[in-house]
Amino acid sequence: MTEVTDGVLHTLFRTDQGGHEQVVLCQDRASGLKAVIAIHSTALGPALGGTRFYPYATEEDAVADALNLARGMSYKNAMAGLGHGGGKAVIIGDPERVKTEELLLAYGRAVASLGGRYVTACDVGTYVTDMDIVARECEWTTGRSPANGGAGDSSVLTAFGVFQGMRASAQHRWGDPSLRGRTVGVAGVGKVGHHLVDHLLADGADVVITDVREESVRRVVERHAGRVAAVADTDALIATPGLDVYAPCALGGALNDESVAVLTASVVCGAANNQLAHPGVEKDLADRGILYAPDYVVNAGGVIQVADERHGFDFERCKAKASRIFDTTLDIFAHAKEAGVPPAAAADRIAEQRMAEAGRA
């Protein structure tokens, strides 16, 4: 049979990128639900990843986001050593306007129809309270509230894991994991960023922050009176003289041609997903001598938490697992050095190898 490279299935399964296992389009006319569930891989176990609720400009954008995010989860889960493959769902629409209990229940039924091949959780636009509703129709739901058998807010462990990744970066770069006396810039002090600031100050770092929400900046500055400096925006933050570490903790795409060219820090380690704006940025960073701790390696604390929820959540067990992000990050830097590739490429290779080996088992 001739290979089809431009049909609707080609687009849906991303056959040019190795392909996704399953893409499910869901509609519930009564509630107005329109969702895409993308399962990239179940080689390592049931696909695990959150539900993004977002007002996409086009349906194509929604499908593309689901596919990209699902693929990213395969790599993140493989690298975190979880018995889960990668998947992600998007619900199309403005959550402020269209999110209803009826719609979330319909979404729960859609996820349940997959019989456990996909396990859902929170993401941008969905919260613990939403997952409590989804869970009424679907047993394969994590990110629920503690009152409903869940683990609650995952940002505490995400920040802890990012801090471990940053300590490993400091160890690799300066031969000492402590951040004492280092200047760290945190862009985005929301749920994860403000916890990261706590860890950094406790370790003796000098911290500079920024956020588009004045309220978020004020909250952190007031909490740590006189110990945190705030700058106007991310452009000012990344150009701060004497900056040692840049921690992107807002949205994706923080590392692009422009930002990499002016970045004063020699280490990048932060919580944001998809920090590299396009392929090749990882090489630009390496060429400038900037050590990049791959985002999905260091921000896995959250998914470690929701995966644990499947077996009865235990905070200390999860914290111990998230502590291992320190060693994993160091291993990736060592592999990268040995293979002469940027750390992002080394991480991808290790994750792909794990999936391939599991696929053959």
Catalytic residues: 88
Q: If 0-12 CB within 10 Å is exposed, 13-18 middle and 19+ buried, where does residue 340 land?
A: exposed
Q: Which helix (H) or strand (E) holds 246?
A: strand 245-248
Binder among 22, 210, 240, 259 for ligand NAD (CB under 6 A) = 210
The CB density around residue 107, as the number of other CB atoms within 10 Å, is 30
* Chain centroid, CA 191 distance in Å: 13
Contact flags string 263-282 toward ligand NAD, x per CB under 6 A: --------xxx---------
Quick one: which of 21, 211, 244, 308 contacts ligand NAD (CB under 6 A)? Answer: 211
Binding range to ligand NAD, per CB under 6 A, among 34-42, 56-64, 171-179, 209-217: 209-217
User: Is-contact 272 192, C-beta < 8 A?
Assistant: no
By CB under 6 A, the count of residues binding ligand NAD is 24
Cα 128 to Cα 134: distance, rounded to the nearest angstrom: 10
Residue 150 burial (CB < 10 Å; 0-12/13-18/19+)?
Answer: buried
By CB atoms closer than 10 A (0-12, 13-18, 19+), residue 26 is middle
Give 44's DSSP letter. T
**Amino acid (1-letter code) at residue 133:** I
Among 158, 240, 328, 329, binds ligand NAD (CB under 6 A): 158
Q: Which is nearer to ligand NAD, 23 or 189 (CB)?
A: 189
Query: Cβ 6 to ligand NAD, closest distance in Å?
Result: 32
Parallel, antiparallel or unpaired: strands 245-248 and 22-28 = unpaired
User: Is residue 253 at the binding interface for ligand NAD, with CB under 6 A as the rule?
Assistant: no
Q: How far is the CB of 187 from ligand NAD (least distance, A)?
A: 5
Measured from the CB atom, is 112 or 184 closer to ligand NAD?
Answer: 184
Quick one: 37 or 192, whose CB is closer to ligand NAD?
Answer: 192
Q: Which of 22, 142, 155, 259 binds ligand NAD (CB under 6 A)?
A: 155
CB of 153 to ligand NAD, least distance (A): 8
3-state SS class at 268 = strand
- Of 181, 204, 213, 314, which lies in the binding site for ligand NAD, with binding defined by CB under 6 A? 213
The binding site for ligand NAD (CB under 6 A) comprises: 154-155, 158, 187-193, 210-213, 216, 234, 249-251, 271-273, 299, 302
